[in-house]
Structures are given as structure tokens and as C-alpha cells.
Amino acid sequence: MCPSPSPQGHDRGYIIPIGGAEEKVNNPDILKRFVGLCGDREANIVIIPTASQLDDTGERYEKLFRELGAGYTYSLPIEKRIDAKNEDLLQHLEDATGVFITGGNQLRLSTILGGTAVAQAIRRQNAKGTHVAGTSAGAAIISQHMITGGTTGIVPTEDGVNLAPGLGLHNTLVIDQHFNQRNRMARLLSAVSYNPFLIGLGLDEDTAAFINNNNVFEVVGSGAVTVIDPSDCDHTSMAEARTGEAVTIINLKLHILSAGSHFDIGNKVAHID
């Protein structure tokens, strides 16, 4: 899946992957900024809690966003693929200024939403200006290639990552979450080594990349975003590696970006204010 083209006269909305465990009480900088982008009191935020198997996840985010100043919030009760065809739910997406995809199991997201009218509506609305954020599993599914599992540690291996199709809101990134907290460098490097066209983003908890319509992101939150840029990669041994074998990758560029840092995805340039 690829991003939908933006209609003439429309700027693409922000795409906001969050590394999970975002602060909700003391300093909810990420969520508050999302609400502000969506319009504060004019905001109409739709929550997609499909990844979570907790009954109250959607309601908790509804309440949280209202407390942060959103004018209207609604959680879409999508638990089966047939729910993603519901015209009333699709209308909520059409009216939304923001969409928030919660954490949980990303394979629930891909198997329930993949290829449905809801997935198409999310891509279409983002192209028209609706902001789309996702935390944890909701961050992983934002990209075209979604990480669903893999090994911990630092060294990439032939079997170091599992991938599945994502929503395709962005097609040059592959995103991992809970990054430093769960020691996930190896699986992000493994994903990048399959195809060095992809830029790897490793998002720490309570940390987000706010990607604007110019394809530049700003880091917001208390942790860091690890950027793996393979654009100058001279060699990856993934094609020759045997099962479980370490993979050679030569000439990668690595950035560690904390709050206020920026990265231009198209030009592959990191900078600070």
C-alpha cells in the first residue's frame, strides 16, 4: 500500500508515530500537541482501539482527549472485518480532524483493518489533511512495511525480524516502538538490511515523530528517536546469510534525535533548531 495522493488544494495531514507508553497525566506533551493540531475545541478525534483487547481502551482515550481540550471524540468499535464496512463508522472517519490508533497487537490491526474501507478511508483522509497518530502497535502499522516481531539485541540476523503489510501512510519508513526499553536495534537493522531503500525509525517510549506534509519530522517527548539511514549502504549480506546467521551491513548512518531535533526524510538530513 502507498499513501493516497493529496487532492489539489489540500496539504497532507501530519503522520505521528508514537513509541508507546506516552505520558497521559503529568506532562502529556505528545497527546496535547496532537489535540492542538486537530483543532483544540474544534477537534473531532476518532479513536481506533482495534489492537487492544481491553474493553475500555477506546473510552479511556475518548475521555483523555476531551480532558486535553478536544471538542468531540468517538471510539470506533471495530472488532471484526465486517465492522470495517459499517457506513456509520466510515462517516465518523470522513468527519474527523484527527485519527488516533491505540496500542495492542499490530497483527489484530493488519488482519482486521487491512484492505478494508476503513483502511482506505484513513489513507484518503490523511491525504486531505486529517492528522493520523498511532501509539505502539498503532505506530508500527503506519508504514507500508510493518514490524510484527523479531529478536532483541544489537546485531541483525537473517531471521531477526518478522514483517507484514501495514496501512501504507508512509512508504519509505519502517517503524519500531518501545525501542530502547525493549532493546530492539537488531530487529530494526534486520528490517533495513532486507531493502536499504527503507529508513528505520526506532521510537522510545513517550516519544513521537511529528511528520509534516513536507516529509520533515520533529521529535517530541521525553526519549529519543533512533534513525537508521542506509542510503549510502555499500553492502548487506541478507541474501547470502543462513538461518540465524549474523548479517553484514556496510556504511550505515545513525542519528539519535531527542526533543526538538528534526529529520528531513526526503533529503535524509538531521538538524536541530
Q: Which amino acid is at 263?
A: F
DSSP secondary structure of 176-237? E-STTTTT-HHHHHHHHHH-TTSEEEEEPTTEEEEE-TTSEEEEEESSEEEEEE-TT--EE-
Is 131 a residue of the active site? no
Q: Which of 52, 75, 110, 136 is catalytic?
A: 136
Is 170 a residue of the active site? no
Is 178 a residue of the active site? yes
Q: Which of 22, 62, 158, 205 is catalytic?
A: 205
Q: Which of 131, 145, 170, 178 is catalytic?
A: 178
109: DSSP letter: H
Region of 221 on the Ramachandran plot (φ > 0 left; ψ -120 to 50 alpha; else beta): left
Q: Are strands 72-75 and 44-48 parallel, antiparallel or unpaired?
A: parallel
Between CA 268 and CA 263 the distance in angstroms is 7
Active site residues: 136, 178, 205
